[in-house]
Amino acid sequence: WSLGVIALEGLGSFRHGLVGDLGLVKLCSALWGRWVEIYETADLLAPYEEWAGLAGYYLMRGWAAGLVPGASADRARLARCRAA
């Protein structure tokens, strides 16, 4: 996560996403229907390769606005409750 923040905010590079960010954990949980581990957020960003940082940013913004198909906040909450 720290490397992603330094790359995005400090260097302006989009190569490294915010792997392990809580927003991405919740998004993955909403998409996959189960609570995910921190390292699994890298799987969500992997298809975007050198644009992983930018993709992660817009995926989290889109999910917050309800624009990511198949991902609902209710489903993420349910997955989190089942894991606890």
Residues 4-60 pLDDT 10s: 666 666 676 676 778 888 889 999 998 998 888 989 999 999 999 988 888 998 998
* Contact criterion met (CB below 8 Å) for 36 and 73: no
What integer is the mean pLDDT of 60-71? 86
In sequence order, which residues have a C-beta less than 8 Å from that of residue 1 and are 6 or more positions away? 18, 19, 20, 21
DSSP state for residue 16 in the 8-state scheme:
S
Q: Tally the domains of the chain.
A: 1
> What pTM, to 2 d.p., does this model score?
0.78
What integer is the mean pLDDT of 67-77? 78
Please state, in angstroms and rounded to a whole number, the distance separating the CA atoms of residues 42 and 64: 19
- The amino acid present at 63, given as its one-letter code, is W
